[in-house]
Structure 1
Amino acid sequence: MSEVFLLLLFILWLQFPPTKPKVPSAMCTRIEIFQLLHKYYQTGDLIIGMIGTQFGCMLDEIVFSEHPKTKFINQVLSVPKNYQQVLSLIFAVKEINENPKLLPNISLGFQIYDSYVNARMTHQNTLKLLSSLERIVPNFKCDMQKNLIAVIGGRNSDISLHIATILGTYKIPQISYCTLSPMVRAKTQLLSFYRMVPNEEYQYSGIVHLLLHFRWIWIGIVTADDENGERFVQTLMPMLSQHGICTAFTEKTPAIAQAVEMLLSIETLNVKAISISNSKVKVYVVNARPQIITCLTWLIYLSAMLEDLSTVSMGKVWIMTAQWDFSFQTMQRYFDIEIFNGALSVAIHSSEVLEFHNFLQIQHPNMHKGDAFFRVFWEKAFNCLFSDSNEDKESSDTCTGQEKLENLPGILFEMSMTGQSYSVYNAVYAIAQTLHKIYKSKPNFITFVDRGLLDPSSLQPWQLHPFLKDISFNNSVGDTVAFDENGELASGFDIINWVTLPNQSLLKRKVGRMNPRTVQGEQFTIYEEAITWHNMFNEVLPLSVCNDNCHPGYSRKKKEGKPFCCYDCNPCPDGKFSDQNDMDDCSRCPGDQFPNKNRDQCLPKDLNFLSFTEPLGITLLLLASSFSLISALVLGIFIKNRNTPIVKANNQDLTYSLLISLFLCFFCSLLFIGQPKIMTCYLRQIAFGIIFSVAVSCVLAKTITVVLAFMATKPGSRMRKWVGKRLANSILLGCSLIQVSICAVWLCTAPPFPDLDMHSVAEEIVVECNEGSITMFYCVLGYLGFLAVISFTVAFLARNLPDSFNEAKFITFSMLVFCSVWLSFIPAYLSTKGKYMVAVEIFAILASSAGLLGCIFSPKCYIIILKPGLNTKDQLIRRY
């Protein structure tokens, strides 16, 4: 039978349900006969009731124009795997009855009905558990009264609540084996209700931990369009957001009433297919209640009729909640289960009960006399009919009874105990252990039972509660079974990896555990290497993000109007780096490091200072040495020719002082080369300021001397008394002492010191001399500039005096060069960093000093060396 044909049959069945079969008896309705067929009763001193869920049905709406009655329409769904829960109860009762140490001489029986996933049917069958006869008479007592001691059920919160509203009236303990959703009034009014499953909050926490472990931050949520689905979304989404996980969309599967409309609406179908086939969303969290999985499966395959199946559903990671046990209805047995290959599910903790596997292997139709569930299960599971069946046998094989359960595909039946079956198994043992504890608490209980003096039926169900609440024991596989203060199982969840095989069988691997009751750090464990992913991932961990990760060297920037998981990647700005994926912001490197070109790591900075070994330092060293040598040479020439008129003219002592100060100026520039030390930092600016002040003071004194000399030659002039070495020396000493005083104050208040500048140059640490007080530094420069301006002004005013007797023109030009150099020095100095700032200052010192040396002394050296004939007194007087 093709898949498309199955889909069409399902749609037609929903639209045109089969007609009602004939009622074989006038005394009862068809639904009552249907219920009588689907029950299983085994006698015992104490009876455990069970409301299971193997079938589903649709019922007619009540019409008030006729006498009220329940009408059966048809059996809709059959889930063969759910019958394992019945077998689990039977197996547990059998073990307890055969155990001489547990409830000796007292037998347990059971009575099983089905809920049919329907409120009316659930209420009706719950009342039948309370009744003595087949008719519903709950409070009627007779000799055939069965001693119902507890009830196990139901499959979900709705069914459990229907059961609890009746059992709570009689205070009969009810243990649900798969109810995870919070139940209304469970803590306040449903005092007889227990759950053989952990708190649902642990399941949400497990899902969040699972997503965070695999860094899945862009997911889709699939849930039902009902109250339970809304509660699931409202509980899970805040936890996801709190942990940085975004929800791309929330897809709600339709309720049963909406199923036909959805399946027949191509437009609606397209919308849901596009939502599920979102290429960027690789991970789906599914609130895996059976009806949701049914709708989701149909949606996937109906969507495949419109689009390529691989683009719609393949290559996804399905994360299922604990309600799922990979059970398909018989009408879905031909579906390709590969779509769920590699799925992960949070599952009720279970352990393998070895004897249960052997128990399943020997199951045979002849073993279940009176079990109305078994024949239907066998026929649906093996797609056959027994020879005495009243149904049409033309399209089905005949059941031989020799079929083996281990040959069934995993989607229909598993040979290992499922989580729900394990919960049923533990629930039966919890009841038995409670009864054992009660009877042992009575004096001489064993003696009374042996003599037949104690009637087990005298025990009332309400007497179980004080003992059941505090029950704690280890089951046959060593797991601890106990209830917490809320009547829930004090345990956690398993994480299961589902691997599908081509023959419709499956492997169920336990790959992790979520148990908040364990020690900190071990509450969540996952064995990633044990997980088998969908084959479209080629065994590579799937990714589910809104966009690609921001690699190192980039930081995330939120996209406007998008969830916080969607972002752009911006390169790190200058001076910052990021060394991990998806950094919210780039970080600054430590002060002694800088980011590399890719800005994904920090590199150590090199020391930045003007070294004697680098080309720039060598060049400046050679220049300073050369100019110093020239200064010394000029000084030697002047000393050798000290008796000549050109040397004697204009104060010979000032000339020597100027040459010596220029010599020292060239040498003081060497203090700026090399790694700064404490002493060099003290001497740099101080020596430079004082020596230059002496040089400029000499120039100023020479200029003033020339001016006074010419003024003194005038008849009757009073300036003659000022002409001489006293005035020149006073000017030199006075101007120099002022600069010395400034430097002394500087050294005493905030002297320069070696410093490391981490930020001026991105990739280097600038080793420099911190000026200490920048104000005092500029005071030194300012005073030096003041002397230079005064010297330039005086020399400019005296430029027209006779050249043979004064140097006014040369001094004017030299001071022009000097001022030009230092005016250009200030902006150049402020605009450079590191060793280049030092180089600019050295250049300014050398250039200004060379300007003074060249402009003032080169004309005199020319005459002394090349034109000695002009260096005579007669020649100078004649020229005058």
Structure 2
Amino acid sequence: MDPSFSDREQFPSFFRTVPNQLSHHQAIIELLKHFGWVWVGIVASADESNAKSSSLLREQLISHGICVEFHVIFPVDKGETKRTNVLIKNSTATVIILYCNIGYFDQLMIGEHWEEIKGKVFVTSVTLTLILENAYYLRGFYPLNGSLLFVTRRGNIHGMKDLMDYVPRRAIRHIEEILFLLPSDRNGNPLNKSNSEPFRLTYSVYTAVYAVAHAFHDMVSKARTQPGFLSTGQWLRHFHPWQMMPHLNKVQFRTQSDGDFSFSDEGEMPGEFDILNCIVSPDGKDRMVEVGSCRSHPAQFHIKDSTIVWGSPYTEAPHSVCSSSCLPGSRKAKREGQPLCCYDCVPCEEGEVSNQTDMDNCMKCPEDQWPNKRRDRCLQRLVEFLSYQDPLGAGLGGASIGLSACAITILAVFIKFRATPVVRANNTNISYTLLVSLCLSFLSCLLFIGQPKPLACMVRQAAFGLAFSIAESSILAKAITVAVAFRATSPDSQLRRWVGPRLPIYIVIGCSVGQVAICLAWMVLSPPFPDYDIQSEKGKMILICNEGSAVLLYVEISYLGVLALLSFTVAFLVRNLPDRFNEAKYITFSMLVFLSVWVSFIPSYLSTKGKYMVAVEIFAILGSSTGLLACIFIPKMCLILLKRGLSSKVHFTGMDNK
């Protein structure tokens, strides 16, 4: 069965009617794969053929992902036999492949500790066919119960059974004992009739003889057609064995069992095996049951699992693995210094799943999905953003609209009472500009609510920044106008040329241009864009606006802070001017509100995630804008609507008779 004989350059005239080792090894591998046996031991005898074959089998097993716990080659030595049996007994592999001849196997079974071997399934090679196929030989060897044997395929030899029945039993008793190892009594009757007609090895010989006969017949037939052919006898005197080679290569005939027969290009026939189940019973009813078959070309493997009788303690096909299977939700982690079949099962990491058994690596879920609790499949993430359907979003949106309506209402009142001294005292146009910018600041909050879109993400921060910078510029213009007006009372004062309606306009435009420049740089260098956050909350995809550049965001807010500090400083300097002409204290208080809100905003903004981060920014916008609206305009609204007498020109200028 040595595969080296398949080399036609080395052995061009070698033909065989028994399978080669490679097909036999493939049959063993198919059996192991069928039952999921990936952890085996190999016991081989020390003779050259079996030692070489077992080493080749080991290489093929490893290449097919089957691990070998041990591979022992033992000589006929009592001490080695004992050690081998102890190794088999203590091994963790359930399946042991026996690759030895009859003499070595005898020593193994009569050696120490053989009877102590429990719970093992032996798979034997074809080299043990002759001895193990005879169930009588197995009597008492209980460790072999439930084992599986590979044997060459049984074939029918036409007329052989009739010959055996015709010839007296006593005359062929010794032939049977030699060929089939069938012991008989003194009268020549076989002691075990379960397999009295195996004809396995005999059939291989029969096929070889028939192949030679057909090749010879073909050669003679063609010779007769050649000129100068006189007689077969004369032709045979000049015959050379090598002349049969071309005819053996092309020989074809039909057998009673297999159908058409021919040799392959390597001088071989397809590997065909039967699989027997060895049953050893305490009651002496030992037997071999054919449970399957295997063919190398075309590739076929068939086994009847239900007919197999397994040895104690198994009632069904046992497992032979180094490590238990890793269930879905985990992966295999190789144990250092051990074969690939030996591993630990490690749960998949966060964000990963495994949906099959014994996966080497877990798979990452798509970004819009998340593993379930068992981490064996991906679930769709819950999409979240600050929406109008959310109570928080609806409340903030309502507050934004309500406060903008308040600003519009105050603007309408100021327009209606624009002729009153209260409205005219601090530059009517600046007051209008301040109210409009505060209204836009309130409305800019609506851009922060709803599913982030490219346009909304790009303009929302810029819209708020520009609107609020105009509001703060207007407040700064009010404060500077008051300071200049009261310090330019002397005729020769240099400040008199700044008194007038143009100064506030220059201040508003000049301060607003700085914020415009910041926003333009932001839009060009690193514009905001829609994004998602899958890190903040497990199982959720939070839709957000990525600000593009956090630095430019803080530059925008810092610029607003600078305007607020300037307004606060100027208002603080003119706080002691006459009250009725001076709203410095209201400006001072409104700037304190603004600074308090935005100083507390920064840590809150950095410590929150997702939609709550957006809500914090909206709170800051609404809070600071409301502070400006309330501190500056509510006192004036009270004068206009509730105390109209106090808003008269006489009382306002302090020239009443009191």
The TM-score with structure 1 as length reference comes to: 0.65
1:322 and 2:132 matched: no
Question: What's the counterpart of residue 70 of structure 2?
Answer: 249
SS at match of 2:446: helix
Structure 1 counterpart of 2:15, one-letter code: Y
Which whole-Å CA distance do the structure 2 matches of 1:351 and 1:324 have between them?
18
Alpha-carbon deviation of 1:801?
4.5
Which whole-Å CA distance do the structure 1 matches of 2:349 and 2:233 have between them?
90
Do the aligned residues in 2 keep the contact of 1:593 with 1:605 (CA within 8 Å)? yes
Question: Relative to 1, partners in 2 of residues 1:238 and 1:806: Cα closer, same or farther, differing over 3 Å?
Answer: farther
Question: What's the counterpart of residue 510 of structure 1?
Answer: 292
1:446-525 aligned within 5 A = 461=241, 463-487=243-267, 489-494=268-273, 496-500=275-279, 502=281, 503-515=285-297, 518=298, 523-525=299-301
Question: What's the counterpart of residue 837 of structure 1?
Answer: 613
SS at match of 1:622: helix
Alpha-carbon deviation of 1:713?
3.4
SS at match of 1:574: coil
Alpha-carbon deviation of 1:585?
1.8
Question: Relative to 1, partners in 2 of residues 1:452 and 1:427: Cα closer, same or farther, differing over 3 Å?
Answer: closer
Percent sequence identity is 39
Task: Encode CA deviations 1:770-800: one digit per residue, 9 max, x unaligned.
Answer: 5567676555445434433433343344445
Alpha-carbon deviation of 1:554?
1.4
1:267-666 aligned within 5 A = 269=82, 271-278=83-90, 280-299=92-111, 302-303=112-113, 307=116, 312-314=117-119, 316-325=120-129, 327-328=131-132, 333=137, 335-336=139-140, 339-353=143-157, 356=160, 360=164, 364-368=168-172, 373-374=175-176, 381-384=182-185, 399-401=186-188, 403=189, 408=192, 410=194, 413-418=195-200, 420-443=201-224, 461=241, 463-487=243-267, 489-494=268-273, 496-500=275-279, 502=281, 503-515=285-297, 518=298, 523-527=299-303, 529=305, 532=308, 534=310, 536=312, 540-639=316-415, 642=418, 645-666=421-442
1:784-863 aligned within 5 A = 784-830=560-606, 832-861=608-637
Which whole-Å CA distance do the structure 2 matches of 1:290 and 1:239 have between them?
24
Which whole-Å CA distance do the structure 2 matches of 1:559 and 1:251 have between them?
23
Which whole-Å CA distance do the structure 2 matches of 1:498 and 1:222 have between them?
19
Which whole-Å CA distance do the structure 1 matches of 2:327 and 2:211 have between them?
55
Which whole-Å CA distance do the structure 1 matches of 2:378 and 2:134 have between them?
63
Which whole-Å CA distance do the structure 2 matches of 1:729 and 1:183 have between them?
102
Alpha-carbon deviation of 1:602?
1.0
SS at match of 2:15: strand
1:208 and 2:10 matched: no
1 or 2, which has the higher helix percentage? Answer: 2
- 196-205 vs 695-704, greater mean Cα deviation: 196-205
Do the aligned residues in 1 keep the contact of 2:177 with 2:183 (CA within 8 Å)? no
Do the aligned residues in 2 keep the contact of 1:337 with 1:500 (CA within 8 Å)? no
Alpha-carbon deviation of 1:721?
2.5
Structure 1: segments with no counterpart, 5+ residues: 1-179, 264-268, 385-398
Do the aligned residues in 1 keep the contact of 2:216 with 2:244 (CA within 8 Å)? yes
Do the aligned residues in 2 keep the contact of 1:211 with 1:217 (CA within 8 Å)? yes
Structure 2 counterpart of 1:475, one-letter code: T
Which whole-Å CA distance do the structure 2 matches of 1:607 and 1:693 have between them?
34
Which whole-Å CA distance do the structure 1 matches of 2:351 and 2:247 have between them?
69
Do the aligned residues in 2 keep the contact of 1:576 with 1:588 (CA within 8 Å)? yes
Structure 1 counterpart of 2:147, one-letter code: A
1:675 to 434, 438, 451: 451
Question: Relative to 1, partners in 2 of residues 1:353 and 1:766: Cα closer, same or farther, differing over 3 Å?
Answer: farther
Which whole-Å CA distance do the structure 1 matches of 2:621 and 2:315 have between them?
72
Which whole-Å CA distance do the structure 1 matches of 2:413 and 2:301 have between them?
93
1:80-229 aligned within 5 A = 180-182=1-3, 193-229=14-50
Alpha-carbon deviation of 1:729?
1.8
Which whole-Å CA distance do the structure 2 matches of 1:492 and 1:550 have between them?
36
Task: Encode CA deviations 1:721-749: one digit per residue, 9 max, x unaligned.
Answer: 31232111221233234434554565577
What is the total number of aligned residue pairs between the two structures? Answer: 651
Question: Relative to 1, partners in 2 of residues 1:813 and 1:298: Cα closer, same or farther, differing over 3 Å?
Answer: farther
Alpha-carbon deviation of 1:646?
4.2
SS at match of 1:617: helix
Alpha-carbon deviation of 1:436?
1.8
- What's the C-alpha RMSD, in Å, of the aligned pairs? 3.9
Question: Relative to 1, partners in 2 of residues 1:324 and 1:272: Cα closer, same or farther, differing over 3 Å?
Answer: closer
SS at match of 1:599: coil
Do the aligned residues in 2 keep the contact of 1:495 with 1:514 (CA within 8 Å)? no
Which whole-Å CA distance do the structure 2 matches of 1:762 and 1:321 have between them?
56
Which whole-Å CA distance do the structure 1 matches of 2:133 and 2:270 have between them?
30
The TM-score with structure 2 as length reference comes to: 0.85
Which whole-Å CA distance do the structure 2 matches of 1:444 and 1:686 have between them?
105
Do the aligned residues in 2 keep the contact of 1:365 with 1:375 (CA within 8 Å)? no
Alpha-carbon deviation of 1:810?
2.9
Which whole-Å CA distance do the structure 2 matches of 1:549 and 1:878 have between them?
99
Which whole-Å CA distance do the structure 2 matches of 1:495 and 1:807 have between them?
108
Question: Relative to 1, partners in 2 of residues 1:624 and 1:531: Cα closer, same or farther, differing over 3 Å?
Answer: farther
Question: Relative to 1, partners in 2 of residues 1:485 and 1:678: Cα closer, same or farther, differing over 3 Å?
Answer: closer
Which whole-Å CA distance do the structure 1 matches of 2:53 and 2:376 have between them?
41
Question: What's the counterpart of residue 733 of structure 1?
Answer: 509
Structure 2: segments with no counterpart, 5+ residues: none
SS at match of 1:381: coil
Which whole-Å CA distance do the structure 2 matches of 1:802 and 1:357 have between them?
137
